Structure 1
């Protein structure tokens, strides 16, 4: 057995017997599969050891560990040694000793012990059976105590002790020289197999140990006669990087430079739907909103911006005077003005750019600004050291990624939540921000891909603005490989606990005579197929027919791999009015009681939890539903 590079990817663990000593294994789980055999060991009231064949998991913890081993080493022979019967995951010390002894007597080569004890009175009996395992060349892998306390058998020198860390990559793990628990593997929150539900979102040293058990099974396929010392040598030589001493592994805190870090104080104009989030969720911004402007005629001038959208007072009074909102700002955030330009028959974009740059302010525009249309304005901005920025995905960015990297298979081991809808203007972005706020407050590390132009302002990891006034310059055929690659790249770099992605409009068109490009159906389907969410949050309109909601759920779950876990309805009620043969949709705020009745009906009709996301209670339900689905 050499101490050089071991090619884990060349092995599958074929023929290696791996025992999971835990709460059992559920062989019906699709990501676990066949279990070669097993035993249940317990003690009756009289202190007698009992053995039976009821080794099937009824808790989930053992199935989670088995699923991790199976993912690393798909061809191992799994054996279930059940010693835990309930969620407390506790058993008598002599049961654990007997479980290890059973593994030795039944020819196991790897024994996963995602457990341990801090009781020193058990050390002698455990040490004896662990010494016997070493003599028989049986590898024992044990989890460190989750709070770092000395625990056994993880601290024994002839057991592979494993601590939890934020370590990503199928074959990635760390080595801690000089620490009784020498190895660190992925133990941050991750999607693992379970019994009920089928998957949960959970972390801990238990799962870190299972990752190492899978890797050791691969090593033993390559070196079937290796002893503990030789396997340890291979693991040390192939660790992702050495970690010296008793250093605690934690996520990197190195700040990444924001592309928009030049925005310190912003004024926003006009105060249309896209701008509402900048007031409602201004606590999520890295800059201060100091002014809000809107044209006369919409009925908002003079009102508090927060109260105007049904929220708490913001202290920002809406004015029609652009010069006034720019007084304390260094940047003008410019929303869509195309409709206002049409109504006024003026080039408002040009006028607003000239006013902002002329007064020494940067500009961030939600819509792309074509330099060839306004070359003098761009030149003036450059002379003054000012920026004119907007979100855009260019062909040049796509070309930076080689075809090999775009087409290579990629694995994202992080739960992905997708926010989709039945149509436009129904609160998808509000839902994404509400979930972001709650996850961050709870300490989760969040990665996010947004399709709204303002996503970048909130620090999303990728803005892919394919909706209204699309700023995506790559062909539709490139959406899937590009987004697939970017999602993988973000997860590799950031190591998030969870990913939230948000689409545009709907995935099933209302009108099949309309172009699927015009209503964003095809782009949204490409977004779905590339991000592959594990769970869907579906936003619906108050006027949506039941069949249409049902069709949308069916489309999401048939084309993607996820499950619809929550329905969301906005407090903005849509009303369709016909005038001279043309139909228009108007929005009106729905009374809370009426909204709650509609939500209750949705839950009864579809058997899926439903909520609004404006109130504190609604946002809490959104957060709780997502976290409980993944078992966090």
Structure 2
């Protein structure tokens, strides 16, 4: 029988919210621990095993203990004789003492001299440890018996809720062993030798820790020592490390402990290797690889709102913007590209001739030129590709570049060793990713969703502001963006479901694919994951199919945010804002914790069957009045998106919401 553990964190997070107990961040700067300065003082460790021989000189006095064994008529009996009957528990205690000499050890004897027991005896021992409020339970044991799984799932969930960390052994032959494979248990496999504090950490693996389990000298009965090996003896090495982590961070719960285990592992993975591990199913960008490290000097054309984001958040991209071009008719030519959008100066003037800027860079970032092509009645996309490739530039295109249409451009680029890419998710990537979902843990960190009431609001600006400020605070941020250029900002996935979307999957596939991607991102152990949607969240008019927002609702169901930020327009009716808040709460089971608003007011006009939207700058006094009204009306903090003060308040609201 196959058993799938229940989805762990989002459900647990919401249960914790009811009691005002939430996730606590540990900033990156606080994660490096000098284990040699710690002793485990004040940390209670229960060793559930064959007992412990406290007379062994390398073990010493115990803080207490108990023995459990099968009694008459199926009952569980207990005894105060918790001395060791087999030597196995003493060996574990000796290993823990080497690392955490001052930890308070409790002997919980459940084995007979053959190192066997009944499952219900183990459950009783775990319940005793939880009631005693120990910090850590060492389980150098495991079971492959499927009939025990439901009881182990229940008791390990109780341990997590009580703040008790359970460390358990992998099967010696690599089989699926419970409770080590459960998501709220720290699983340990046996590896080679090393120094006192050496161990390996495998983010996203079912058994995440690897510690010394090879032949080693162990404490045993009658004050003796012997050489033995096995995953049983790898577990106490990690238990000792966890005791030191708990001494350094007494309030750390299992997710923070995992962060700290990863940060201090001997094999601490670089950001690049973590990313490659999590994204092993394939890259969502056709031909271009992950991220933007191949871009050094970028030129932008045309200068639309998507390009504005690159200039506003240029500190988040790993390349220099050296040229900007835009058609003359928009009135931006000659202006500084930063100052033209009320951002700090870029030091680059906007030029009218597209070809002039190509001489400055190594990569053309080509925006939406489809409308320019319709106006000019030319293939502007193809012309731009030709011009860039002819001058030896890579191309990142917002629009799809179909191979059957632009095969010649692809051939030229390949011959010159150039990249010609656009955001794209192929069907094989979708199938492979969904197929892997069962092998990945459910998302175990807070997820914040940025949703809106319409298009053209600044939702992506909110995402970038949150990303920047959280990174500055030392948090590791996982992120899915729905803008075509999301990965240029270092986000984990561009899921381009908005304008000119290249996605060829049905809405029914959005949810499982996105959930699997969220789990892959979770493998990298971020502190928080940000997800941002497109357009509005609910329809304006149920009878007008063009206002339906099925893509956004599918995105909501796939990413499952734990809390939301809602971006609103100053002209939105109160009823529509409230309906959107209710939809996020009912459909996504996610409360909204903040409202965000642009400093522009939309003016919508309809003529000859077409609707146009013009943006007008709001006066400062008008912005203040509207924000005050929103806060009073909906009982939520409300901020202006581009305001530095507003952005800071966004981050403070998020951190406060997910902190104790």
Deviation at 1:592? 2.9
Deviation at 1:324? 2.5
2:310 aligned residue: 278
**In 2, Cα distance between equivalents of 1:11 and 1:262:** 40
**Correspondent of 1:536 among 564, 578, 593:** 564
**In 2, Cα distance between equivalents of 1:476 and 1:10:** 25
Matched, 1:562 2:590: yes
The total of aligned residue pairs comes to 483
**In 2, Cα distance between equivalents of 1:558 and 1:237:** 46
SS in 2 for 1:527: helix
Residue by residue over 1:109-136, the C-alpha shift from the partner in whole angstroms, topping out at 9 and shown as x without a partner, is 99xxxxxxxxxxxxxxxx9771456855
Residue by residue over 1:15-50, the C-alpha shift from the partner in whole angstroms, topping out at 9 and shown as x without a partner, is xxxxxxxxxxxxx998489xxxxxxxxxxxxxxxxx
Task: Check the 8 A contact 1:8/1:171 in 2, yes or no.
Answer: no
Task: Check the 8 A contact 1:505/1:520 in 2, yes or no.
Answer: no
TM-score scaled to structure 1, two decimals?
0.66
2:384 aligned residue: 352
**Correspondent of 2:460 among 429, 448, 469:** 429
**In 2, Cα distance between equivalents of 1:527 and 1:596:** 32
**In 2, Cα distance between equivalents of 1:128 and 1:417:** 48
Q: 1:313 to 1:559 in 2, by over 3 A?
A: same
**Correspondent of 1:597 among 625, 647, 660:** 625
**In 2, Cα distance between equivalents of 1:32 and 1:543:** 36
**In 2, Cα distance between equivalents of 1:347 and 1:9:** 55
**Correspondent of 2:541 among 511, 517, 521:** 511
Alignment gaps of 5+ in structure 2 = 7-11, 25-40, 50-59, 68-79, 84-88, 90-98, 109-133, 138-163, 168-179, 204-228, 245-260, 277-288
Deviation at 1:354? 1.1
Alignment gaps of 5+ in structure 1 = 1-6, 13-27, 34-56, 65-92, 111-126, 140-148, 188-231
Residue by residue over 1:445-481, the C-alpha shift from the partner in whole angstroms, topping out at 9 and shown as x without a partner, is 1100111101011121111101110121222221111
Matched, 1:172 2:105: no
Question: Aligned ranges for residues 13-92 of structure 1 at < 5 Å?
Answer: 31=15
SS in 2 for 1:291: strand
Q: 1:350 to 1:472 in 2, by over 3 A?
A: same
Q: 1:243 to 1:401 in 2, by over 3 A?
A: farther
Q: 1:294 to 1:181 in 2, by over 3 A?
A: closer
Task: Check the 8 A contact 1:392/1:473 in 2, yes or no.
Answer: no
1:341 aligned residue: 373
**In 2, Cα distance between equivalents of 1:377 and 1:254:** 34
**In 1, Cα distance between equivalents of 2:338 and 2:581:** 33
Deviation at 1:345? 1.8
- Taking CA–CA contacts closer than 8 Å with sequence separation of 6 or more, which of the two structures ends up with the larger relative contact order? 2
1:482 aligned residue: 513
Matched, 1:631 2:659: yes
**Correspondent of 1:616 among 640, 644, 658:** 644
1:462 aligned residue: 493
**Correspondent of 2:429 among 387, 397, 420:** 397
**In 1, Cα distance between equivalents of 2:104 and 2:200:** 12
**Correspondent of 2:532 among 502, 524, 536:** 502
Residue by residue over 1:412-467, the C-alpha shift from the partner in whole angstroms, topping out at 9 and shown as x without a partner, is 11100000001100001000000000111111111001111010111211111011
Deviation at 1:337? 0.9
Question: Aligned ranges for residues 5-16 of structure 1 at < 5 Å?
Answer: none
Deviation at 1:613? 2.5
Deviation at 1:174? 5.1
1:371 aligned residue: 403
SS in 1 for 2:401: coil
For structure 1, which segment, 177-186 or 549-558, has the greater mean C-alpha deviation from structure 2 after superposition? Answer: 177-186
Deviation at 1:326? 1.7
**In 1, Cα distance between equivalents of 2:571 and 2:519:** 37
**In 2, Cα distance between equivalents of 1:30 and 1:268:** 43
The RMSD of aligned alpha carbons is 4.7
